[in-house]
Amino acid sequence: MQRLNVGTALGVGFGLVALSGAGPAQSAGTVEVLHWWTSGGEARAVGELKASFEEQGGTWIDSPIAGGGGDAAMTALRARVVAGNPPTAVQLKGPGIHEWAAEGVLADVDDVAMRDGWNDVLPPALAEIMQYEGRYVAAPVNIHRVDWIWANPDLLEEVGAEMPTSWEEFNATAESLMEAGITPLAHGGQPWQDATIFEVVVLGLGGADFYRQALVDLDMDALQSDTMIAVFDQMRIMRGFVDPGFSGRDWNLATSMVMNGEAAFQIMGDWAKGEFLAAGQVPGEDFLCAPAPGQAFILNTDSFAFFEVSGDDRIEGQQVLAGLIMSPEFQRSFNLAKGSIPARVDVSLEEFDMCAQQSQADLTAAIEADTLVPSMAHEMAVPRSVRGEFLDVVTEHFNSDMSSEEAVEQLVSAIERSL
Amino acid sequence: MARPSVWLARVRRVDVWLPKVVVAPSFAASLFFVYGFIAWTVYISFTGSRMMPNYDLAGLAQYERLWNTPRWFVALENLFIFGVLFMVICLVIGIVLAILLDQRIRAEGVLRTIYLYPMALSFIVTGTAWKWILNPTLGLEKLMHDIGFTSFEFAWLVDRDMAIYTVVIAGVWQSSGYVMALFLAGLRSIDDEIIKAAAIEGAGPWRTYVGIVLPMLRPVFLSAFIVLAHLAIKSFDLVVALTAGGPGIATDLPATFMYSYAFQRSELGLAAASAVMMLITIMAIIVPYLYSELRSERK
């Protein structure tokens, strides 16, 4: 009896959804979502998605796998896929989506994408990452900008400095901060953080085209160029600006150094803003945000990839989830919780803070000028194996007295090896 | 009279098959979960697996890549430094503590517990605690500065040339008490008569220990060495908690190398190759040991 009811409800639900697009249906199927958003703000953000999915009458099975960076989640995912029981949607990013798609285990949600016109509202660089062989296999939930400089205004005032607009200015300001006995740069010495600074410097010194050649296309000439040597020279200078206890520090501890006036700058993506806001600080007054030198935009995004599942109930849930993730309401509420900006460029940012608004203005400008580039350090540009080689060389250079020429040489042979 | 003998024969037969039945499940489990997976890892190391296991053989390609990776050499060099220092220092401290405790001192039980206590902590706890103690802006160095010794400097943890030695410090702190316990048990098992005889012959305590007691503890040395050697080679949690392989990749060990390539970089094949290299290293130590043990038993 009960079985019959569920079946009927499903049938009706399916009909309704099919007829009305995404109206308040009786049932929206079942989804199982595998993610590693387990920290405070992240969990709240994913709760938004769960709530809106359940509002549609669907069943949400949450599969959070703790462990930053998602290594544990990826191991679990591999086991699930090998066992033939993949989750409905998985938090995946960048080339990782393509790697899984190439294994033939992703389902496409192209029908939903065409119906809702994803092509018109996503930045082209982002849309490309979400597609495999021309069909959407993933949906982005947000856009993080990586090339930000965060600063403590009181400390800058002490040495009479403004937010730097070029690396020379940055170096000069940092020198005067050092003379005043202030640590110029708050930094955590983890390989991905070193790589974050590295790619921001690559963009600042080489520009968007060079960035693309070197860190996206892995062009050997670009990797061996004098510009790359200059990048490592700048990294060596930056090494002098960090305090002695930087090794192994988490990024949020570095952020709190800026917050507490222990250091003047931090170079970090806009998830750092979440920390400032969570501490009740106001952008523009208690902390400053400014794009790093380079006149471009390094893109990092979180997205959900859809796996091949069986059963009408689950396929139904997948389609509904895909539509939900890309709905303007969800994109707004999710990103207010996470600190990033919506992946859709047509969502109004009135409720967002000034840093987010600037982020969106710069994003639009970058799309027009074709200077939107994917982040290497945050797994948007190259496969994990190649990214790992970058991280090794960058962090080895940063933590030793290796010369810039040697670093470039090592980088070239490491990239060749990983291909 | 026939019945009891049949019954007895049956019992005797139970005697034959029961142990086999009892042992069979665990034998099958270890055959599958240990040796089966070892075989699987060896196979994977000969394939071109990247993100997902791929069963097409690719010859020695992964081993070639492994031995062309500078980071692997860093890991090996670190294993050598860490392994040798860890084993030697643990043995020396363990033996000295054991000999001192062996002097029938008062409160021996309490002291023994104190020395053995670090062994009760997991390497993760040890690593985290020492990470705080050795952090220059948080621990020892700050403490010394705060009480007035401003010229005191101890920043090994963040110095890439010295960081591996901080791993040695934490490892020795953890394991030397265990070595002490092993040796103390060994010392206690030596017949007092021998020591008395040595004393009557006029041998001082130094000569007694070096010339007579320690040579008699050869088997204890061997077990301590084996335990320490495999601890060193499979060392993973200590490094992860203490330095996370950093600064940079300065404290990478083969185990952390393997983890990082398998789970962070989607290089399953290369990681399997490095795991096989670790297995070979351990076998190079264990097999001669087993061989000598078995041979001496046969005698």
Q: Where are the beta strands (DSSP E) in chain B?
A: none
Question: How far apart are alpha carbons A356 and A342 in whole angstroms?
Answer: 10
Q: What is the pLDDT of residue B297?
A: 61
Question: How far apart are alpha carbons B192 and A419 in whole angstroms?
Answer: 67
Q: What is the pLDDT of residue A6?
A: 44
Q: ipTM > 0.90?
A: no
pLDDT higher than 60, residue A18: no
Q: Among residues A9, A44, A48, A16, which one has the least CA distance to residue A30? A: A9
Lowest mean pLDDT among A184-193, A240-249, B74-83, B151-160: B151-160
Contacts of A400 in chain B (CB under 8 A): 160, 248, 250
Q: What is the pLDDT of residue A27?
A: 65
Q: Is there a contact between A243 and A183 (Cβ–Cβ < 8 Å)? A: yes
- pLDDT, tens digit (0-9, with 9 covering 90-100), for A277-295: 888 888 888 999 999 988 8
| Cβ distance of A78 and B247 shorter than 8 Å | no
Helix, coil or strand: residue B1: coil
pLDDT higher than 60, residue A16: no
Q: What share of chain B is helix, strand, coil (3-state, %, to 5)?
A: 75, 0, 25
Q: Among residues A97, A100, A147, which one has the least CA distance to residue A267? A: A147
DSSP codes joined into one string, A7-52: HHHHHHHHHHHHHHSS---S---EEEEEE---SHHHHHHHHHHHHH
Question: How far apart are alpha carbons B279 and B295 in whole angstroms?
Answer: 23
- pLDDT, tens digit (0-9, with 9 covering 90-100), for B202-212: 877 788 888 88
Question: How far apart are alpha carbons B266 and B117 in whole angstroms?
Answer: 39
Q: Among residues A255, A262, A254, A238, which one has the least CA distance to residue A171? A: A238
Nearest to A71 among B68, B249, B264 (CB): B264
Helix, coil or strand: residue A401: coil
**Both structure tokens of B196:** 């008395």
Which residue in chain B has the smallest CA separation from A77? B52
Average pLDDT value for residue range A126-140? 91
Q: What is the pLDDT of residue B201?
A: 82
Kindly report the pTM of this predicted structure: 0.78
Q: How many CB atoms lie within 10 A of CB A197?
A: 23
Q: Is there a contact between B236 and B122 (Cβ–Cβ < 8 Å)? A: no
Q: What is the pLDDT of residue B162?
A: 85
Mean pLDDT value across chain A: 86
Q: Phi and psi (nearest 5°) for B75?
A: -65, -45
| Cβ distance of A244 and B65 shorter than 8 Å | no
Selected for mutation to probe chain B from A392, A410, A411, A419 (highest B CB count within 10 Å) is A392
Q: Is there a contact between A328 and A203 (Cβ–Cβ < 8 Å)? A: no
Average pLDDT value for residue range B54-59? 86
Q: What is the pLDDT of residue B152?
A: 81
Q: Is there a contact between A144 and A301 (Cβ–Cβ < 8 Å)? A: yes
Contacts of B261 in chain A (CB under 8 A): 388
Q: Phi and psi (nearest 5°) for A101?
A: -65, -40
Most confident of A205-214, A245-254, B16-25, B96-105: A205-214
- pLDDT, tens digit (0-9, with 9 covering 90-100), for A138-180: 999 889 999 999 999 999 998 988 889 899 999 999 999 999 9
CA–CA min distance A356, chain B (Å): 31
pLDDT higher than 80, residue A419: no
Contacts of A396 in chain B (CB under 8 A): 248-249
Q: Phi and psi (nearest 5°) for A64?
A: -80, 135
- pLDDT, tens digit (0-9, with 9 covering 90-100), for A78-107: 888 888 889 999 988 888 898 889 888 999
pLDDT higher than 50, residue A185: yes
DSSP type of residue A341 = B
| Cβ distance of A396 and B52 shorter than 8 Å | no
- pLDDT, tens digit (0-9, with 9 covering 90-100), for B237-296: 889 888 887 787 888 899 999 988 888 888 889 999 999 999 998 888 878 877 877 777
Question: How far apart are alpha carbons B181 and B191 in whole angstroms?
Answer: 18
Mean pLDDT value across chain B: 85
Q: Among residues B256, B76, B278, B101, which one has the least CA distance to residue B186? A: B101
| Cβ distance of B157 and A244 shorter than 8 Å | no
CA–CA min distance A391, chain B (Å): 9
Q: How many CB atoms lie within 10 A of CB B162?
A: 15
- Give the H/E segment covering residue A373: strand A372-374
Strand order in the sheet with A138-140: A59-64, A30-35, A89-92, A303-306, A138-140
Average pLDDT value for residue range B98-125? 85
- pLDDT, tens digit (0-9, with 9 covering 90-100), for B175-195: 999 999 999 889 888 888 888
Give the pLDDT band (50/70/90) at residue B122. Answer: confident
Mark out chain B residues that contact chain A at CB-CB < 8 A: 50-53, 65, 68-71, 131, 135-138, 155, 157-158, 160, 243-244, 246-250, 260-261, 263-267
Nearest to A400 among B135, B160, B244 (CB): B160
Nearest to A245 among B71, B137, B246 (CB): B137
Average pLDDT value for residue range B55-79? 89
pLDDT higher than 90, residue A211: yes
| Cβ distance of B246 and A395 shorter than 8 Å | yes
DSSP type of residue A70 = G
Helix, coil or strand: residue B244: coil
Contacts of A417 in chain B (CB under 8 A): 65, 68-69
Q: Is there a contact between A245 and B134 (Cβ–Cβ < 8 Å)? A: no
Q: How many CB atoms lie within 10 A of CB A47?
A: 14
Q: Is there a contact between A258 and A265 (Cβ–Cβ < 8 Å)? A: yes
Give the pLDDT band (50/70/90) at residue A214. Answer: very high
Average pLDDT value for residue range A110-130? 90
Q: What is the pLDDT of residue A23?
A: 42
Helix, coil or strand: residue A249: coil
Beta partners for residue A91, in sequence order: A304
User: Where do we find the tokens 């009740």?
Assistant: A280
Contacts of A257 in chain B (CB under 8 A): none
- Give the H/E segment covering residue A61: strand A59-64
Q: Among residues of chain A, what percentage have pLDDT more than 70?
A: 92
Q: Among residues A74, A117, A272, which one has the least CA distance to residue A187? A: A272
Q: Is there a contact between B139 and A245 (Cβ–Cβ < 8 Å)? A: no
- pLDDT, tens digit (0-9, with 9 covering 90-100), for A367-407: 889 899 999 998 888 888 899 889 989 998 998 889 999 99
